[in-house]
Amino acid sequence: MESSRSIQYHSGLLKPHKTSSHGPIWLYFLLIGCAAWLYLWQANTVSSANALLQQQHQLSSQLDAQQQQTLSDIAHAQSPYVIMQEAVNLGMTPPQWGDGQP
């Protein structure tokens, strides 16, 4: 017993489509092109992000060095020896012990 489709083929009402078992080749090229475009787009995005990250890292290193220098300068300025030297240079010497001045 033949199916209705095979009967229609034999009767000439419908002609069978000739399709390859692999599908249309243009579809494969389209998919490969889309995959290549996506890959290149992602690679460009990653490259741009990497350049930005390197700039941020360089800026962070510069700021760390400036912070260390500033902390060193503050520590030097707050040291008792430096404060005493500045007071002597300005003529503001502390009273000596036992001289009777408050």
Let me know if residue 61 belongs to a domain. Answer: yes
Let me know if residue 67 belongs to a domain. Answer: yes
Query: Which pLDDT score, from 0 to 100, does residue 64 have?
Result: 97
Number of domains, the chain: 1
Let me know if residue 69 belongs to a domain. Answer: yes
Let me know if residue 101 belongs to a domain. Answer: no
Domain with 42 in it = 26-89
Let me know if residue 2 belongs to a domain. Answer: no
Per-residue pLDDT tens over the stretch 4-23:
554 455 555 555 555 556 67
Query: What's the rounded Cα separation, in Å, for the pair 60 and 65?
Result: 9
9: which residues sit within 8 A by CB, 6+ positions away? 15, 16
Stretch 55-76: mean pLDDT, rounded? 96
Reported confidence tier of residue 71, pLDDT bands at 50, 70, 90: very high
Query: Which pLDDT score, from 0 to 100, does residue 93 have?
Result: 74
Token pair in block for residue 67: 């912070």
